[in-house]
Every structure is written in C-alpha cells, then in structure tokens.
Amino acid sequence: MNGYMGRMLWVDLTAGTIEPMPLDGELREKYVGGYGIGARILVDKIPAGADPLGPENVLGFITGPYTATDAVVGSRYVVVGKSPLTGGWGDANSGGYFGPALKQGGVDAVFFTGISEKPVYLLVEEGEAKLCDASGLWGMSVSATEDRLKEDLGKDARAAVIGPAGEKLSRIAAIMNDYGRAAGRSGLGAVMGSKRLKAIVARGKAKVPVADPERLKGLRSKASKQIKDGTGFSSFYTATGTAGYTVIGAESGDSPVKNWKGAAGVDYEYPKEFTYEAQEPHIEKRWGCYRCPIVCSRMVKVKDGFYAGAKGHIPEYETQSAYGSNVVNYDYRSVVKANEICNDQGLDTISAGATVAFAIECFEAGILTEKDTDGLKLDWGAHQSIVKLTEMIAERRAIGDLLAEGPVLAAQKLGKGAEAFAIHAGGSPLPMHDPRFEPTLAVIYRTNASPGRHTQACQYLLAPNHPVKDMPMFGQGTDVQEGRGKYIRVATAMAHIFNCVGTCLFAYLSLEMDMLIEQLSAITGKEWTFDELVETGERIENVRQAFNWKHGIRPMEVEISDRAIGVPPLKEGPTAGVTVDIEKLTAEYFEDMGWDVGTGRPSVERLKRLGIEELAPAFG
C-alpha cells in the first residue's frame, strides 16, 4: 500500500450514505492513481446514456502516489466524471494544497453519486467523512466560501469548492481550491452543482506510507538541486511561470488571435503590457503549491487605472491568451479582472475567454445584437465589455444565460452560421495552443478521450534524459508533417502517468526523467521502468476511450473546428499557409496505438497486451 492511504469513499448523496471502497493492488499497479484509477472505476459505474447532470453521473476526487509525500512535486489531485460539455470522459486537475490535505485526511479518493436534497459539503478527516449542511454557503463566491469554511473549521481546512457558476450548472464551470487554483476543464463544476455539493473540505496530519523514505528524501534533495541548477525548463518556471510565455506565444503563432481567424503580428501586434517586466509592478509576492521548490505562481493586485484593486493568482498563460490575443485585448489589467471574476465565480478561464471571443464574433456578424446583450456593445479589444460579459456569463444574465452553456451549445441554439465561430474539439473550447503552430495538437485535440486539451499529451514536455530521443520538439516547424504522429502514443502515455501520480507537468518539464521514475519507485517500492510507465499510460488512455465508446463517442467522429487546422490556411503571420494533415497524423498515431485507422477501435490483441481485454465489449 506504499504511496497510498488504502482508503477510498463512495458517497451516495441521494441516500446520504458514505461507504468505504477498497483500493486493491490491481487498481494501484495497473492504473497508478488519479484519473487512471478513476477511469477504471467509472467505466463500470456510470451507465451508458447517463445524463452528466443527473444522479447517475459519478464525480470523483482522486490523488496519486506522489501526493503529500516528500516527492518533488506531490501537490495535485484530479476530478473525474462524465463531462456535461462533451458528453464523454471528463477530467481536470489542480495543484495547491487541497489534494495533499485530502490524502493527509486519510483517504486517496472520494466518489459522489446521486443528488442531495439540499446543499451539502463533505468533511474528511482521519479517514472518516461526514456530510454537513451547506445551505448557508449556497450562492457564495469561491473566496467567501473558503473564508467561511476556514472560520468555521479552522485555518488548516482545505477545500475544493464551486462558485455560483457551478451552482447554476454552467457547462464551463470549474472546481476551485486555494482561492484561485482550478480543476477547470470538462465542465465538472456543473456536475458538482447538479449534485448540490458545494465543497469537499479536508484536513489532517496522516503520513503517507512510503516504501523507502530515506531514498525519497535523498531524491528530494537531488531534485531540488536539479531545479536550482536550471534543469529542463525549471529556470523559466522559477523566474516567471507561464506568465512569462504570453509574448512568446503571441509572436510565434502559438497563441490564437481574434477567435482563431487572425494572424499574429498582423491582427494582434506585440502586446507590450503582457511582457513579464510589465506585469511585475502588479506582483505582490511569489506563490507555490504544496512543498514545490519551483514556486511558479504569483499573487497580483492591479496598482492603478480602471481595474485598480483587481487581485488574485496571477493569470496563467492560458488565461492571458484567452483574454488577450484571442479577443485582441491589449489591456493587461482587464485580464487580471476577468481572471478574478472567473476564479471567484468558478468559471474555467480557457472556456470563458473562448466563449467571449465567440460572442464578439457573433456580434460582429449581427447574430447577436444589443437587444441580446442588455445593451452591451461587443467588439474586439473592448476590454470593459469583455469583463462585463464574463460577469454576465457567471451570473447567467441576459445573453450570459445562453453563453454559460459554452460556445458549441450556444451556437446550436443561435444558428445563422454561429457554429463556425465556436472553436472547439468535441464540444470543448480549445486551449491557447494552435495546431497550425504544432500540428500534432490537432490529433490530440480531436482524438484524446478528453478532447480539446493541451495537458493530455505533452510532446513538448521533453524531460531531460527522455529515452525517445528523436521525438520532435513542440513547435519545431510545420513543413514536415509526416512521421510526427507516431510519437503521440508515448507523449500521451507519459502525460497520463505524471497527471495520475499527483505531480505537476511543470515538474515533469523541470526534472530529469530518471528522477521522476525513481521517485515513484522509492514511494511505491516497485522499481518502475520507462517502458512500463508508457504501457501503463497507454492502458489508461484505452480505458478512457472505452468510457467514450460506451457513451457513444468514437474518436474519428469527434469534430474539430476548421480554423484550428488551417482550413482555409491563414494568409499572413508566422503560420501563414499551414494546413494540418490531420488524417495522416491521426493514421500514424492510431497505427502506433494498435487502433483501427478507420474507426479508432483498439485491436483485441492490443487490449490483451495491456491486460484490459475485459473491456473489449465496450468498443462494440
């Protein structure tokens, strides 16, 4: 049981019951933790056709073997469930302090089913849990909820909560912790809201059993030294965090511009307010997750201007681009304000920014008018209306009510050609990395079990000493598209592993690969190899795909917006002329995965090799 508390809880919110669940050896060894374990459980537990916002959906909060140990870094937890945004597999993950608190509270994972009659929160401590009345918290913002829980239960209480957006079932709602860290994607905040579950609160001092504590301690020292020495991308994360990437992304063509129809340097020029130096005057202090030596985040407060006083965690690159280049906004301070609103109301900033960009383009095309927007004039770069519209989405006010469904459903209801302005894969608004800059992203966005995600296959996260030496680096030219797709299997598998062990992908990028594997071995007592981890990650992806097949989603039938793959190609800018050969890249990936090139169905032989042949019937 090393690396785990050995205890999971099954909470039936309809019945108000809490039952322990075994975390058996097979689950631990074959699926490691996080959404690996979550997918294997939910593929059986959620019936085909279940309404994501109905009682049959299951919402799980799961840690991994790294979480709350001496490992660098063991800060994360994941949330899993059927996504109300895509209708298929959903997961999201977050750092901060909640994941470690859950594990130190004595449990590895909690799963919720059913719907509570009245608002509740779950309190976890010393391996036990109880449901508590949350009627007084319902309607409160994220920060007010966290404040109140700390007042009532003590400062050591750590909570994962929803804000009003999740309560109002916005399909782009996030689950928040630590006043602004987000399990943002997949719309799982709405699932939590549908269950009338306002929060999970955890606290405790339980020690996670570790196979070789001395070895892990030694590895922690070595890992901290690697970070100090600037291994991998650690200097970048330490110096600026992702906030330091915004201008690089905007200039290179990686960041989408003007709802993905514009060109970098043409429709969005050098955003000087977004350089890290320009952001620095607003930074109040550094902020890091649980025992992380990288400390990539910052706390900011806008010092002057119209948005003076706006504050919170520094907007990450994704937020800065979603509310910057993609809506042609040059006002950094307004991005801090939009970020504050999203974090406090519990909205995913990627999806919220993408939805605002969609609405602006609908307004430009006359599909939306001031009658729909309560008099608000929407336009590219009109930062005050961008901020206002974000508030309206969170409150579901006027057009915000429709937009809270996310751009794809909103477009379906609006019609008149609005569908072309909803830039997505499989219903999930795309993150701020453009396949016209890195073509393999198109395959990842379309065919991953959780579509439209940039953290599910990180071919750009090449840890030093990565054994696959010839894997092309992220963004290394689009001229040769052939021969790149085959690397997505390894990239997907390793991203799954590091998401599932409970570490941070920035640590993956900042440490030598041997270090990451050795830490897992020291924790669990099993000597892992790179190849075993790739096989485990591949197994996890196949189980997530089995979930989707069961719920009627086939990877080849998932739609990705034309603009994102260069149909038609841009005429100007650094990615001018690029059209992604998505079919060729997909075929290469599927062949490497042992999936049928026409349908994406895994071969029975491959399922057998991965030890999951029992899931063959799920693939039809």
Bridge partners of 175?
183
Name residue 567's amino acid: V
Site for ligand SF4 in 478-507 (CB under 6 A): 504, 506-507
Q: What is the phi/psi pair of residue 464, to 5°?
A: -55, 145
Which of residues 222 and 261 has its CB atom nearest to ligand SF4 in the complex? 222
**CA-CA distance, 380 to 331, in Å (whole number)?**
12
Closest distance to ligand SF4 from the beta carbon of 505 (Å): 8
**CA-CA distance, 293 to 285, in Å (whole number)?**
15
Closest distance to ligand SF4 from the beta carbon of 283 (Å): 15
What string marks each residue from 527 to 566 as x (binds ligand SF4 by CB under 6 A) or -? ----------------------------------------
Which of residues 234 and 259 has its CB atom nearest to ligand SF4 in the complex? 234
Q: Are strands 77-82 and 17-21 parallel, antiparallel or unpaired?
A: unpaired
| Of 289-297, 350-358, 541-549, 609-617: span binding ligand SF4 (CB under 6 A) | 289-297
| Of 150-158, 255-263, 291-299, 488-496: span binding ligand SF4 (CB under 6 A) | 291-299
**CA-CA distance, 177 to 94, in Å (whole number)?**
8
Helices (H) and strands (E) in the chain, counts: 23, 17
**CA-CA distance, 540 to 532, in Å (whole number)?**
12
Closest distance to ligand SF4 from the beta carbon of 98 (Å): 12
Which of residues 68 and 85 has its CB atom nearest to ligand SF4 in the complex? 68
Which of residues 515 and 580 has its CB atom nearest to ligand SF4 in the complex? 515
Closest distance to ligand SF4 from the beta carbon of 248 (Å): 18
**CA-CA distance, 434 to 454, in Å (whole number)?**
10
Which of residues 290 and 332 has its CB atom nearest to ligand SF4 in the complex? 290
Residues contacting residue 72 through CB under 8 Å, at least 6 positions apart: 219, 220, 223, 224, 227, 291, 292, 293, 503, 507, 511, 515, 519
Which of residues 116 and 297 has its CB atom nearest to ligand SF4 in the complex? 297
Q: b/e per residue, 401-411, with b = 16+ CB within 10 A? A: ebbbbbbbbbb
Q: Which of 288, 439, 573, 602 binds ligand SF4 (CB under 6 A)?
A: 288
Which of residues 204 and 288 has its CB atom nearest to ligand SF4 in the complex? 288
Within 10 A of 121 (CB to CB), how many other CB atoms are there? 23
Closest distance to ligand SF4 from the beta carbon of 610 (Å): 29
576 lies in the binding site for ligand SF4 (CB under 6 A): no
Site for ligand SF4 in 34-93 (CB under 6 A): 73, 75
Q: Which of 53, 283, 295, 556 binds ligand SF4 (CB under 6 A)?
A: 295
Nearest C-alpha neighbor of 445 from the set 594, 260, 618: 260
DSSP-assigned states of every residue in 461-522: ---TT-S-TTPPPTTS-SS--TT-GGGHHHHHHHHHHHHHTT--HHHHHHS-HHHHHHHHHH
Which of residues 23 and 223 has its CB atom nearest to ligand SF4 in the complex? 223
Closest distance to ligand SF4 from the beta carbon of 377 (Å): 37
Q: Which of 95, 163, 429, 439 binds ligand SF4 (CB under 6 A)?
A: 95
Name residue 313's amino acid: H
**CA-CA distance, 255 to 253, in Å (whole number)?**
5
**CA-CA distance, 355 to 410, in Å (whole number)?**
9
**CA-CA distance, 41 to 62, in Å (whole number)?**
12
**How far is residue 379 from each of residues 344, 382, 402, measured CA to CA in Å?**
25, 5, 19
Nearest C-alpha neighbor of 260 from the set 420, 387, 383: 420
99 lies in the binding site for ligand SF4 (CB under 6 A): no
Which of residues 125 and 316 has its CB atom nearest to ligand SF4 in the complex? 316
Closest distance to ligand SF4 from the beta carbon of 73 (Å): 4
Q: How many residues bind ligand SF4 (CB under 6 A)?
A: 14
Tell whether the torsion through CA atoms of 603, 605, 606 and 612 is positive or negative.
Answer: positive
Closest distance to ligand SF4 from the beta carbon of 292 (Å): 3
Closest distance to ligand SF4 from the beta carbon of 504 (Å): 3
Which of residues 73 and 565 has its CB atom nearest to ligand SF4 in the complex? 73
Q: Which of 140, 289, 322, 422 binds ligand SF4 (CB under 6 A)?
A: 289
Q: Are 315 and 323 in contact (CB under 8 A)?
A: yes
Closest distance to ligand SF4 from the beta carbon of 588 (Å): 31
| Of 20-28, 127-135, 293-301, 319-327: span binding ligand SF4 (CB under 6 A) | 293-301
Q: How far is CA 19 from the centre of its chain?
A: 29
Q: Which of 199, 216, 292, 523 binds ligand SF4 (CB under 6 A)?
A: 292
Closest distance to ligand SF4 from the beta carbon of 33 (Å): 16
**CA-CA distance, 525 to 195, in Å (whole number)?**
38
Q: Which of 296, 350, 376, 491 binds ligand SF4 (CB under 6 A)?
A: 296
Which of residues 2 and 455 has its CB atom nearest to ligand SF4 in the complex? 455
Structure tokens at 433: 């990395």
What string marks each residue from 223 to 242 as x (binds ligand SF4 by CB under 6 A) or -? --------------x-----
Closest distance to ligand SF4 from the beta carbon of 101 (Å): 15
| Of 34-42, 79-87, 286-294, 401-409: span binding ligand SF4 (CB under 6 A) | 286-294
What string marks each residue from 384 to 423 as x (binds ligand SF4 by CB under 6 A) or -? ----------------------------------------
275-283's contacts with Cβ under 8 Å and 24+ in sequence apart are 275/246, 275/247, 276/239, 276/240, 276/243, 276/244, 278/332, 279/243, 279/314, 279/332, 282/332, 282/333, 282/336, 283/314
Bridge partners of 299?
285, 313
Q: b/e per residue, 338-349, with b = 16+ CB within 10 A? A: bbbbbbbbbbbb
164 lies in the binding site for ligand SF4 (CB under 6 A): no
| Of 7-15, 98-106, 288-296, 467-475: span binding ligand SF4 (CB under 6 A) | 288-296
**CA-CA distance, 425 to 548, in Å (whole number)?**
14
Within 10 A of 540 (CB to CB), how many other CB atoms are there? 30
Which of residues 293 and 406 has its CB atom nearest to ligand SF4 in the complex? 293
Q: Which of 297, 334, 390, 561 binds ligand SF4 (CB under 6 A)?
A: 297
Which of residues 67 and 345 has its CB atom nearest to ligand SF4 in the complex? 67
Per CB under 6 A, residues contacting ligand SF4 are 73, 75, 95, 237, 288-289, 292, 294-297, 504, 506-507
